[in-house]
Structure formats: structure tokens, C-alpha cells
Amino acid sequence: MTDTSPPLSNARPRGPIAAVIAVVLHEGRTLLVRRANPPDAGLWGFPGGKIEPGETIANAAIRELLEETGVHGEALHPFTALDAFDCSANGDISRHFILVAVLCRLISGEPVAADDALEAAWFATDNLVHPDLPLSRDVIEVAQQAIGIMRGQFLKEC
């Protein structure tokens, strides 16, 4: 059977693609990767990627964290969802991602860029707004939400 569907670049998006971002905060630092591929190629953001068929949100977050940074983590809590779009040169949307942010705890490892990350590094959480650090949209807001969740968790445990 021959596939007669048009190439993706000429086709309308078929629907949103489910993906995750792994948000790791540790000792006042936030783990970020510089993306190699769209969306947000060249910008710093949270490790993440597509959810594979049959994979849970938590497992996808931990897998992507390990694949992109070499860091082992534990998924604690999905806490928000975001939209991300790939657009063609003429501005048409080619792909729409729905990103589920998952708060993760560091288990072990130091970040080393791998897979589709150009770089992986820890950044001071209170210094993410910096002119030399081009961030993906919503990184600051997501980090602030994660901090709030962690503070709430800490207060509940006291």
C-alpha cells in the first residue's frame, strides 16, 4: 500500500503531541539544557521530550532527564501544562506540543549534555533572569511554581 498523505511540512497539524519537561531544583539550583532541536532550538529550558506510547508521565520525565543530562531522578509531582509550537518560516504551525511539567528530585549524577541537548548545566535558581541566558518561554514561571510546591511540601513535613 502506498502512502499518499502529503509531507508534514505541507500538512496541517494532526493534533497536539504529548510531552513532558523534568523540573529539577537542588540546593538553590535549577537544571537546564540548551535545546538542539525545535521547538526552542538554541534556548535554555528544562530537559524533556515526547511521551512514548504506553509510557506514564512520570516515567517519561525520568527517561528524558536521564537521556538529555545523564542525571538520575525521581518524579514527584506533575504540576502544570504548557503549549509549545513549531512554526515554519512563513509562520504556519507545523507541530503543537502540550508539555506536562513534572517536579523531580535529584537522585544522582552530574549533568552532561546528550541526546538532543547541546549543553546541560545547573543555574542559580534566583538568577535565571540574565541577559546572557536565553530562556525558553515560561522557564521562570515554571521554576517559580516548582519552588512554591517544594516550599509547601517542606512546610507540610515540619
Judge whether 119 counts as a catalytic residue.
yes
Alpha helices in 11-138 (DSSP H): 57-69
* Closest C-alpha to 49, from 12, 111, 90, 95: 95
The rounded radius of gyration (Å) of the Cα atoms in the chain is 17
30, three cell numbers:
535549577
Q: How many CB atoms lie within 10 A of CB 42?
A: 12
Q: List Cβ neighbours of 110 (8 Å cut-off, separation of 6 or more).
A: 70, 71
Q: Which of 55, 67, 74, 119 is catalytic?
A: 119
Euclidean distance between CA atoms 4 and 10, whole angstroms? 13
Active site residues: 119
